[in-house]
């Protein structure tokens, strides 16, 4: 400021000196005129610097620095520094915001920001997938217009957001249900935060747990009821030796049924709780097939008056690495299922085929009633039955295919199921090349 005043007086002094040189009769008038002209020139120059500063401020280009001398230059310099500091803070804030949004985008949970009116301000990709939102098109749309589930609308319109609700996802179908847990949180001035997470596996596990307990209870209660009735009959009624022997035989059948159920449950528990088998032990596939054939023929003679036409074939001698008991259990279960559901006298084809890529396939094709497509995805669930009454007749526990699935997974194999109603079924396990080796004939 002192320099500004000093420069003004320098202009005045220069104007006064120049005024003395003017050809006027009165030197005082020349001095005054020179001082007036110098003041006008100083004001014009100062005004020009101010206009340059104003134009720079209007342009808003804080990246370039305007060069002005004097007081306006000091103002421009301080303004530029303050603006750069502000821009730096804004960039840092934007960077932190982008990192925060990226973290929310990477979250496995859906996040939706709602304004005070319930309109969507922002959502991450997970929420867009959960609710079939379009992150660009559906912004500022009311959430109630996009999610029409009655339970959610009642939850949104209520005032109690202490708990969450479970609702079907936008992509949920009858064959592949999707369940979402949705929770609302208040924040800010009337705004809401909507969180969603996929609880399909949790819900399915809970349903499977309830079904497992109910099925085990039912499977054990039925033979126990039969045995209790026979025991009471033997204790209270005078029976002949033939009747007594027949009742004891029926009791023995029910005891074997419970023993088979407990054995299958123990097998499943062992499969789930032990490490996968290694590749150090190599087993003869021909030996496994021979044991399966013996079990299949024995079961066929036991269940029907006329045996089935069991056909076993093998494309070439080979060995497989794995657990003998597990592989025999899985292969025998597939053969036993085919025997149980194939009418007497019909053919059952059991094949071991070495594939060109080094893998191997064990398959069982029956001539049974076949399975509808909607039942196939659930066949490997514990105790799942397509026809409960028929399953009771055949004596199965409902755990065979669950055991097969676990054995296949533990040996790196793929379980394939092909079936059409009225055309029989084909079950196959495809083993990886790392567990199969061919041997000389």
268-289 mean pLDDT: 85
Question: Hey, which residues does 128 pair with through a beta bridge?
Answer: none
Q: Which of 170, 164, 238, 154 is nearest to 202 (CA)?
A: 164
Q: Is the dihedral of CA 38, 40, 43, 45 positive or negative?
A: negative
* Cα separation values, 193 from 190, 247, 393, Å: 10, 67, 55
Q: Would you say residue 282 has pLDDT above 80?
A: yes
List the domain boundaries for the chain.
2-97, 107-198, 203-273, 282-438
258-270 mean pLDDT: 79
What pLDDT, in 10s, does the model give residues 169-198? 888 877 678 889 999 999 888 889 999 998
Q: What is the percentage of the chain residues whose pLDDT exceeds 90?
A: 21
Q: Give one DSSP letter per residue of 306-340, joined into a string.
A: S--EEEEEESS-EEEES-HHHHHHHHHHHHHHHHH
Burial class (CB in 10 A: 0-12, 13-18, 19+), 291: middle
Q: Would you say residue 403 has pLDDT above 80?
A: yes
Q: Would you say residue 390 has pLDDT above 90?
A: no
- Looking at residue 138, its pLDDT comes to 86
Q: What is the CATH topology of the domain spanning 203-273?
A: Helix Hairpins (1.10.287)
- Looking at residue 387, its pLDDT comes to 63
- Looking at residue 58, its pLDDT comes to 74
Mean pLDDT of the chain: 82
What pLDDT, in 10s, does the model give residues 317-365? 899 999 998 999 999 999 988 998 888 888 999 999 999 999 999 999 9
- Where residue 306 falls among pLDDT bands split at 50, 70, 90? low
- Where residue 69 falls among pLDDT bands split at 50, 70, 90? low
Q: What is the CATH topology of the domain spanning 107-198?
A: Beta-Lactamase (3.30.450)
59-68, 260-269, 328-337, 423-432: range with lowest mean pLDDT:
59-68
CATH 3.30.565.10 fits 282-438, yes or no: yes
- Looking at residue 241, its pLDDT comes to 84
């Amino acid at each position: 400021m002192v320099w500004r005043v000093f420069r003004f007086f320098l202009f005045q002094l220069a104007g006064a000196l120049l005024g003395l040189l003017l050809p006027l009769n009165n030197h005082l008038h020349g001095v005054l005129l020179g001082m007036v002209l110098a003041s006008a020139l100083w004001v014009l120059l100062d005004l020009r610097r101010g206009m340059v500063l104003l134009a720079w401020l209007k342009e808003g280009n804080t990246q370039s620095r305007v060069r002005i001398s004097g007081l306006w230059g000091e103002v421009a310099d301080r303004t530029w520094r303050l603006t750069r500091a502000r821009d730096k803070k804004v960039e840092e804030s934007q960077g932190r915001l982008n990192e925060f949004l990226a973290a929310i985008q990477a979250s496995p949970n859906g996040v939706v920001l709602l304004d005070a009116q319930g309109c969507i301000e922002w959502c991450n990709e997970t929420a867009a997938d959960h609710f079939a939102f379009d992150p660009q098109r559906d912004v500022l749309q009311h959430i109630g217009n996009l999610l029409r589930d009655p339970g959610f609308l009642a939850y949104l319109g209520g005032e109690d957001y202490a708990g969450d609700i479970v609702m079907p996802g936008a992509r949920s179908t009858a064959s592949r249900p999707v369940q979402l847990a949705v929770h609302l949180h208040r924040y800010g001035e009337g705004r809401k935060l909507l969180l969603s997470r996929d609880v399909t596996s949790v819900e399915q596990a809970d349903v499977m747990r309830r079904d497992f307990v109910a099925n085990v209870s039912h499977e054990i209660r039925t033979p126990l009821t039969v045995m209790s009735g026979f025991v009471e009959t033997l204790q209270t009624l005078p029976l002949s030796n033939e009747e007594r022997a027949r009742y004891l035989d029926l009791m023995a059948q029910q005891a074997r049924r419970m023993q088979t159920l407990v054995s299958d449950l123990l097998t499943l528990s062992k499969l789930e709780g032990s490490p996968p088998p290694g590749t150090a032990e190599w087993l003869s596939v021909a030996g496994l097939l021979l044991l399966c054939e013996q079990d299949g023929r024995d079961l066929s003679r036991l269940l029907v008056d006329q045996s089935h036409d069991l056909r076993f074939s093998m494309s070439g001698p080979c060995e497989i690495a794995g657990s003998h008991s597990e592989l025999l259990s899985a292969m025998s279960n597939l053969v036993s299922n085919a025997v149980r559901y194939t009418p007497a006298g019909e053919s059952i084809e059991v094949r071991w085929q070495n594939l060109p890529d080094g893998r191997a396939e064990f398959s069982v094709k029956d001539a049974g009633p076949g399975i509808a497509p909607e039942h196939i995805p659930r066949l490997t669930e514990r105790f799942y039955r397509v026809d409960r009454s028929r399953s009771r007749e055949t004596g199965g526990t409902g755990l065979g295919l669950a055991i097969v699935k676990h054995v296949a997974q533990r040996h790196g194999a793929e379980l394939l199921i092909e079936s059409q109603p009225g055309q029989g079924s084909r079950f196959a396990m495809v083993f990886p090349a790392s567990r199969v080796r061919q041997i000389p004939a």
